[in-house]
Amino acid sequence: MTLNVDDILAPMKETRRKGDNLTLEWRLRQLDAMHLMITEKREDFIHALHKDLGKERTESIYSEILLVELEIKRFKKELRQWMKPKRVSYPGAIFPCVCEVQSVPLSDPCLIISPFNYPVGISLLPAVGSLGGGNPCVLKPSELCPTVSKVFAKMVPLYFDKGAFQVVEGGVDETTALLQHHYGLIHFTGSERVGRIVQSAAAKTLSPTVLELGGKTPTIITEDCPDDMNVVCHRLLGGKLLNAGQTCVAPDFVFCHRSKVDSFCKAAISTIEELFELKEGEKNKTSEFPSIVTENHAERLENMIKEAESKGGEIVYGGSKLCNKSCRYIPPTIVLNPDKDSVMMKEEIFGPVIPVIPFDTDDEAITNIHEIIPGIPLALYVFSKSKERYEYFMSKIPSASAMRNEAILQFVIPDFPFGGLGLSGLGSYQGKQSFDTFTHERTSLYHPCHALFEYGNLRYHPHTGTKGKALIFLIKNMPCVPSFTNKQLVLLSSLIIFLAVRGISSSLVDLASLLEVIASLLRDMSK
Ligand code: NAD
């Protein structure tokens, strides 16, 4: 069946035409509906996440559902404030003015295209931003998580009006059809390859895009890394193995100072076995280790490990013999010294494979990391006791985010905008940043219309003689007038009235009309 995108977008355009989406009430209603959906249908989502990705309950709650709940809570608390117009300063030569900036909805409904790895969180977090910003939106979830996609398709119509939020299921064909249309914003999360396809399609309809892409995130264990290697490994591997390594900001590979390699490998093995109840890479029935999304994805990872084995990489833990692609199981696998031309050192791994590369000096690590990363990575993780060393690495290896002695906590810091740079993405979201991403800053200026405020017609033609020179001088040197508070404005206006009454300007202007203008200015400013 061909997708009729016009029919999908029509009720959303109608919402916009009527202006419902401009109001705080409409936005809060959508956020309440979203909250109700994820709380009332929480079990459906948890079940679907288990089916599609083998995620255990608590991981599903904290790494997906709770993030959405917290985002809704934040939007509901702050939205009224964020929506308020903000006064800005203006050149004194046009005093008195009211200059305001207000964040308004984007030009059209938005499109959200989400990936498979956090299929609930990464679908609904941008949807909160879109609806909170006053934009009806269409969600196209990943076809690789069919159970989650079906839950969305079934639940969204129960909680949302078609003029606010709709779901379109499908893969390449459906996304291609959706991309033929103009959107206020296309929020895409996925691979660099598909990101390029989305960006090209968006160019044809002149739709703005946010691209949240992937990459190879370096992790460095320095010579002076914190003493407790057990804690280092819990943080690093807790991050790497979350969702079986299928996380965009997961540490992709580890550069480990040669003096720390043995202690790192030893602590890494005991950490893996403790976290996931594994015995030499074998999973027991109660293990919480998640699945790889599809058999094909598992096969790709198995081949990656096999290649490393055949090219002389030392398997410290796991290995291809333990892979079971029909069960979508790839064991956490530590590969020491993989061949630098192997797939695991060239492509984003996106699985539980941990290449470890020993180094002797910081500069050697930096040079080698630059040879591996194709562009600017989403993150850089440095385990070091020294702030200076961390800053040195930060100055030499650009990244969209960085952490010292931690990994993948980007999403839990509400004031961190989340997004990539260069090949790892374009634009960002989360919290206030989401609101900014999904709105346009509309400017508005009001200048009372009275001859007194023309200042001798200085700005108009003809610019002959000293008048022209005075104009240029004023433009260059006149300071900006700050955004006044209402109290300051009342004081200022009173002063003007006082001067007018004293007759300083009464010969030049009609006092009654001046008072009228000032009164209207005051009314406007105190709104
Ligand atoms: P993907 O690019 O294969 O798919 C993402 C979406 O694009 C899906 O909805 C899919 O249906 C659609 N799609 C696939 N092929 C398409 C095509 N030819 N034309 C139009 N649409 C198409 O990504 P994925 O495999 O689902 O997710 C993994 C990737 O996403 C990794 O690279 C990962 O790093 C990245 N990612 C990034 C972030 C981030 O926030 N930066 C978060 C999660 C995942």
Evaluate: CB of 249 within 6 angstroms of ligand 1: no
Q: Quick one: how far is CA 312 from the chain centroid?
A: 39
446 forms beta bridges with 98
Nearest residue CA, atom 42 of ligand 1? 248
> Do the beta carbons of residue 446 and residue 523 sit within 8 Å?
no
Nearest residue CA, atom 18 of ligand 1? 172
- Nearest-angstrom CA–CA distance, 498 and 133: 44
DSSP string, 125-148: HHHHHHHHTT--EEEE--TTSHHH
Evaluate: CB of 148 within 6 angstroms of ligand 1: no
Alpha-carbon distance values, 413 to 376, 409, 418, 523 (Å): 21, 7, 9, 41
- Give the end-to-end CA distance of the chain in Å, rounded to a whole number: 52
283 forms beta bridges with 278
Locate the ligand 1 atom nearest the alpha carbon of residue 195 and give its number. 2
Q: Please confirm, yes or no, whether 223 is among the known catalytic residues.
A: no
Tokens 């044809």 belong to residue: 204
Question: What pLDDT, on a 0 to 100 scale, did the predictor assign at position 285?
Answer: 79
Q: Please, how many CA atoms are within 13 Å of residue 213, restricted to the half-sphere of its CB?
A: 28
Task: Show pLDDT as tens, one digit a residue, over the chain (527 residues).
Answer: 689 999 999 999 999 999 999 999 999 999 999 999 999 999 999 999 999 999 999 999 999 999 999 999 999 999 999 999 999 999 988 988 889 999 999 999 999 999 999 999 999 999 999 999 999 999 999 999 999 999 999 999 999 999 999 999 999 999 999 999 999 999 999 999 999 999 999 999 999 999 999 999 999 999 999 999 999 999 999 999 999 999 999 999 999 999 999 999 999 999 999 999 888 888 887 889 999 999 999 999 999 999 999 999 999 999 999 999 999 999 999 999 999 999 999 999 999 999 999 999 999 999 999 999 989 999 999 999 999 999 999 999 999 999 999 999 998 999 999 999 999 999 999 999 999 999 999 999 999 888 888 988 999 999 998 999 999 998 889 899 876 666 776 777 777 777 767 765 555 556 666 667 667 766 665 55
The rounded Å distance from CA 176 to ligand 1 centre is: 14
**Which of 437, 441, 439, 440 shows the shortest CA–CA distance to 188?**
437
Ligand 1: residue of 175, 178, 252 to mutate (most ligand atoms within 8 A of CB) is 175
Question: What pLDDT, on a 0 to 100 scale, did the predictor assign at position 505?
Answer: 53
**Which of 269, 258, 284, 182 shows the shortest CA–CA distance to 233?**
269
DSSP string, 28-80: HHHHHHHHHHHHHTHHHHHHHHHHHH---HHHHIIIIIHHHHHHHHHHHHHHH
The rounded Å distance from CA 46 to ligand 1 centre is: 21
> Do the beta carbons of residue 152 and residue 113 sit within 8 Å?
no
**pTM for the structure as a whole:** 0.93
- Residues 6+ away with beta carbon under 8 Å from 365: 220, 255, 359
Evaluate: CB of 350 within 6 angstroms of ligand 1: yes
**Which of 294, 234, 255 shows the shortest CA–CA distance to 377?**
255
Locate the ligand 1 atom nearest the alpha carbon of residue 420 and give its number. 41
Ligand 1: residue of 67, 176, 191 to mutate (most ligand atoms within 8 A of CB) is 191
Question: What pLDDT, on a 0 to 100 scale, did the predictor assign at position 485?
Answer: 65
- Nearest-angstrom CA–CA distance, 424 and 104: 28
Which of 137, 248, 256, 265 is an active site residue? 248
Question: What pLDDT, on a 0 to 100 scale, did the predictor assign at position 482?
Answer: 75
Evaluate: CB of 168 within 6 angstroms of ligand 1: no
Q: Quick one: how far is CA 471 from the chain centroid?
A: 45
Nearest residue CA, atom 16 of ligand 1? 172
Q: Is 454 helix (H, G, I), strand (E, B) or coil?
A: helix
Locate the ligand 1 atom nearest the alpha carbon of residue 115 and give its number. 26
- Nearest-angstrom CA–CA distance, 425 and 423: 6
Q: Please confirm, yes or no, whether 212 is among the known catalytic residues.
A: yes
